[in-house]
Homo-oligomer: A and B are copies of this chain.
Amino acid sequence: MTVSDLSSRMALGIDIGGTDTKFGLVNHRGEILGKGRIKTDYDEIDDFINALYKEIEPILEQHNAKSQLEGIGIGAPNGNYYKGTIENAPNLKWKGIVPLAEKMTAKFGVQCKVTNDANAAAYGEMMFGAARGMKDFIMITLGTGVGSGVIANGQLVYGHDGFAGELGHTIVKPGGRKHWSTGSEGSLEAYASATGIAITAKKMRAEFPESILNNYPEEQINAKTVHECALAGDPTAIEVFRYTGQKLGEALANFVMFSSPEAILLFGGVIKAGDFILKPTRMHMERNLLPIFRGKVKLVFSELDEADAAILGASSLVWEK
């Protein structure tokens, strides 16, 4: 295939989330030509795929893309790259092992790759985002949970079973905070996710009655309101992010000594806290590194638009060698 041929080829990127599924038609330059979303909560996977097709087919028609469609990339919770399946995803209705790639190929008539959403996001950053040209980096998504994708030697690290890169579930404090879902004690996700930040904030505001965090009702304590209080100069809110950054930085140091990435990309709602979280994260990462690694690793925020990143990331799987 010549370069000009390739440049006219297109990919479908699909991001399956617990609530919504987003999709987009993306060209080889990472431009989204058309997009949409449907609810994820179909009881039957076949009904879900039919609903997807019904939405996507007109977009393909509109862009004359049917013959130009190279394939479909899907980011999904517990997505398995080798098998093209979703396996026992706790937050989806489809139980057991869902042969998603096989079913999508049967419906759409093109190849389909599946991986977890964070892996897809990492590959998207390498093709279209802040990691362009990098061969070794780690992407950490700090949202409701903590996801991750690891690129080494220019390739996604899938591991022997396709499930590699669950850095959010690594233990940063043995015997520490119990995770609300996995039950593990002291995992990174228990501290550095938006959920973890809310827990930390609720604990800390109870210890410091003078904190303006106490002006909010319990259900409004979240990463966003903590950020507002930090911006207003509240020392307790600032300490919530400092503590979170410490835990995150300690975890990142361990990741760096594992795969020595050129950069760690941070993505997701939590990074809106900016320097409140970035500065302590960097400090505690550096202080826990061997000297040989210090001052070398870029710690950067993703450049991709959050609304489009999942679609771009999923679509980029189609171009993976």
Q: A159-B152, A261-B159, A288-B184 are in contact. Are A171 and B88 (CB under 8 A)?
A: no
Instruction: Name the distance in Å between A190's Cβ and chain B's nearest Cβ.
Output: 13
Task: Kindly identify, within residues 148 to 184 of chain A, every residue whose CB is under 8 Å from any CB belonging to chain B.
Answer: 150, 152-153, 155, 157-167, 169-174, 182, 184
Q: Is the CB of A292 within 8 A of B174?
A: no
A130 contacts the other chain (CB 8 A) = no
Instruction: Name the distance in Å between A144's Cβ and chain B's nearest Cβ.
Output: 17
A78 contacts the other chain (CB 8 A) = yes
Cα separation A260 to B260 with both chains bound (whole Å): 17
Contacts of A243 in B (CB 8 A): none
Q: Is the CB of A292 within 8 A of B88?
A: yes
Task: Kindly identify, within residues 200 to 256 of chain A, every residue whose CB is under 8 Å from any CB belonging to chain B.
Answer: 250, 253-255
Cα separation A182 to B257 with both chains bound (whole Å): 14
Contacts of A259 in B (CB 8 A): 150, 157, 159, 164-165, 258
Contacts of A165 in B (CB 8 A): 258-260
Instruction: Name the distance in Å between A90's Cβ and chain B's nearest Cβ.
Output: 10
Q: A157-B153, A296-B161 are in contact. Are A255 and B253 (CB under 8 A)?
A: no
Q: Is the CB of B163 within 8 A of A292?
A: yes
Contacts of A155 in B (CB 8 A): 152-153
Q: A136-B160, A260-B163 are in contact. Are A254 and B174 (CB under 8 A)?
A: no
A6 contacts the other chain (CB 8 A) = no
A290 contacts the other chain (CB 8 A) = yes
Cα separation A42 to B20 with both chains bound (whole Å): 66
Instruction: Name the distance in Å between A199's Cβ and chain B's nearest Cβ.
Output: 19
A134 contacts the other chain (CB 8 A) = yes
A137, A170, A173, A293: residue with the most chain B Cβ atoms closer than 10 Å: A170
